[in-house]
Structure 1
Amino acid sequence: MQDTLLHFLSNNTSNKSSPFPFPKPHNFPSSSFHDYFSPLSCPRNLHFPSLSFKTNTISLPLKPLKTPEIPSISSHHTPPPPSNSEFQEKMLYLDSIGLDIFSLINNHRPIILTASLPNIKSIIDLLTSKNFTPREFRRIISMCPEILNSTPSTITPIITFLLREARVSGSDLKHVINRRPRLLVSSVKHCLRPALYFLKNIGLEEVKRHTYLLSCSVETKLLPRIQYFEKIGFSHEDAVSIFRRFPQLFNFSIKNNIEPKLNYFVVEMGRDLKELKEFPQYFSFSLENRIKPRHQCCVEKGLYFPLHTLLKTREAQFVSRIDACCNSSVPLRSSPLYSVNCDIDSSTSTE
């Protein structure tokens, strides 16, 4: 792989007008680096000759045209490219630790351009010192490449916060970071600590078991979800209770997950919202593959199961319960298999 990469880089740096050592995309015909990366590639010093013409023997000189002002590129734009040798060395190192450099270049070019090789090595050394395996830090960087632009001085306080304030044990630290690599690029002051206080304030016990929520914004993600449940009819206490019982709900999309399932629950299933308070795990099941098929099956059979029985049982158990209810005597009213239709069917069959 390394020989292939060297051949790839050398072939693409032979053109002196193209200092950036990787192929240009087909939709950028220009060979210059600035044509590839910068929306502002025109020269800064444009000179126009002084022009004049005569009218009735009177010479009227024209003033020289001013060089057009070109706005300076702000700091958030891609910085000037590194030298060929520096970039090649960086690419070879990333390749040597098993990263997909072509994917990084295509999807995260600004990060790759701005991250320095010494800094990248220091991050890898830090992860290695925390007993992360090469496979683990490859996965971490692929999920959160912004880590390459971090420094040990920014990551160390985050690890300290997780160990001391979030009460993550040293043996669980790897698992916590592997599950949510974005923790390593989240601000302790502006993100991690406010989220920790918020989760503790709603009564969530052992936040260390839900550290994946610490990288979520309180203002834009955590609080709005509780407020959404208040808007649909839950009291504040009940809404908080739902998230306390099922914290994973904080990570579910309101538009793509919660709303469609809530609409089906209320309109098609005709159930009471209090069932969601008792079983908020409802939102974790697939609407198309679990909720709809099982509900429709019960409707066809004239059965009614509690929400947790309807969804939580395995497929074989669910089918067995359906058969037991339909092909045996009427269950007791206290049984979870009981349906009001059972009495109707029973009375009809005896006539």
Structure 2
Amino acid sequence: MALTPPNSLPPHSLPLLSKTHQPPSSLPTPHHLLNARFTPTAALHHPPPKPTSPSSPNPGLLFRQKLLYLEETLGIDSSEALSRNPHLRSFPLSSLHSLAAFLSSMGLPSTHSGAGRVLSRHPELLTCDPQTHLLPVFRFLLGPVGLPRKDLPLAVLRCPRLLVSSVDSQLRPALLFLRQLGFVGNHRISCRTTLLLVSSVEGTLIPKLEYIQNLGFSRREAAKMVLRSPGLFTFSIERNFRPKVAYLVEDMRREIAELKDFPQYFSFSLEGKIKPRHRRLVENGFGDMPLADMLKVSDGEFNDRLVEMRLRLLDERL
């Protein structure tokens, strides 16, 4: 059965915090937090609203304070967040503070560029129980994945989807597949490649590996190519692989075998770099520059190499 990661969990699928189930006002230190034992709690049903007494805070004022916190502190579009997560309307501001404090303890500051950036991408997280829903993901990243604590923020900011992915049905199977493929040792999963963990093994990783093999490479060669350029697992077969392979073979008249030594070819823009660089080579009477030399250098360095090649050609003719 295909292991497809949840693109985004609907708000009602995340445990909600009611007024009878508040996160602690003072969170333990990160060390204690990660090593403590927590018992997952089921989603709580919200009790019917109680009549407002004269001494109760003004509900309208509390709601405006919540919107102000979302907008000015976290940098979240409150209208969009409320639209995508209606439970947020009745969610207490104190619980939002506790959620932000939890994320801060994991290295994500309560700012626009920290927790706010993650919560903007996935507003369903705004009403989750961090100990039940988020803590297992952070434990997995620090434990089985082996990320250093200092790299947690970068991993999550690069791929907020990690926090809405199931450890057991998504992240762990992807990690096992990637390790079997060779993502260990010097190639182990890092904060720059944790985004691969949210990819479906059967729906994404295996089909892309098989496409590379079908170009004429063995499984071992395809695995080495992916290890050298992990981004291959993030590119579309139809929008990236096929047109670039076609241009390499039909227009550049190159051998597919060149990709084994330079799989990064697929990471360069076809229209923005590959085609213009190839045209410049043809216009100057050259066509056999190695792919790496053709694409990895800056425009200035590429122009310098063309000048050097033209001068060398003139010397040979003289």
Give the TM-score of the pair, scaled to structure 1.
Answer: 0.65
* Superposition map of 1:16-31 within 5 A: none
Do structure 1's residue 110 and structure 2's residue 92 form an aligned pair?
A: no
1:263 to 222, 226, 246: 246
* Superposition map of 1:192-341 within 5 A: 192-204=171-183, 205-209=187-191, 210-303=193-286, 304-329=288-313
Q: Residue 84 of structure 2 aligns to which amino acid in structure 1?
A: P
The residue aligned with 2:20 is: none
Structure 1, unpaired ranges of 5+? 1-81, 332-341
Aligned-CA RMSD value = 2.6
Do structure 1's residue 133 and structure 2's residue 133 form an aligned pair?
A: no
* Superposition map of 1:1-40 within 5 A: none
8 Å contact from structure 1 (residues 122, 151) kept in 2:
no
8 Å contact from structure 1 (residues 203, 244) kept in 2:
yes
Do structure 1's residue 122 and structure 2's residue 106 form an aligned pair?
A: no
8 Å contact from structure 1 (residues 104, 112) kept in 2:
no
Per mean C-alpha deviation after superposition, the further-off stretch among 230-239 and 172-181 is 230-239
The residue aligned with 2:3 is: none
8 Å contact from structure 1 (residues 150, 185) kept in 2:
no
8 Å contact from structure 1 (residues 141, 147) kept in 2:
yes
Task: Give distance in 1, aligned partners of 2:145 and 2:151.
Answer: 12
The residue aligned with 1:183 is: 162
Task: Give distance in 2, aligned partners of 1:140 and 1:230.
Answer: 36
* Moved >6 Å (runs of 4+): none
Q: CA deviation at 1:319?
A: 0.8
Give the TM-score of the pair, scaled to structure 2.
Answer: 0.72
Percent identity (aligned): 37
Q: CA deviation at 1:215?
A: 1.6
Q: CA deviation at 1:322?
A: 0.8
Do structure 1's residue 91 and structure 2's residue 67 form an aligned pair?
A: yes
Q: SS of the residue aligned with 1:168?
A: coil
The residue aligned with 1:171 is: 150
8 Å contact from structure 1 (residues 120, 148) kept in 2:
yes
8 Å contact from structure 1 (residues 195, 217) kept in 2:
yes
8 Å contact from structure 1 (residues 257, 283) kept in 2:
yes
Task: Give distance in 2, aligned partners of 1:230 and 1:328.
Answer: 39
Deviation per CA, 1:66-91: give whole Å up to 9, x if none: xxxxxxxxxxxxxxxx9975765643
Evaluate the alpha carbon distance shift between residue 193 and residue 268 of structure 1 in structure 2; reply closer, same or farther with a 3 A threshold: same
Per mean C-alpha deviation after superposition, the further-off stretch among 88-97 and 277-286 is 88-97
Task: Tell which structure's C-alpha radius of gyration is larger.
Answer: 1
Q: CA deviation at 1:148?
A: 1.8
The residue aligned with 1:154 is: 133
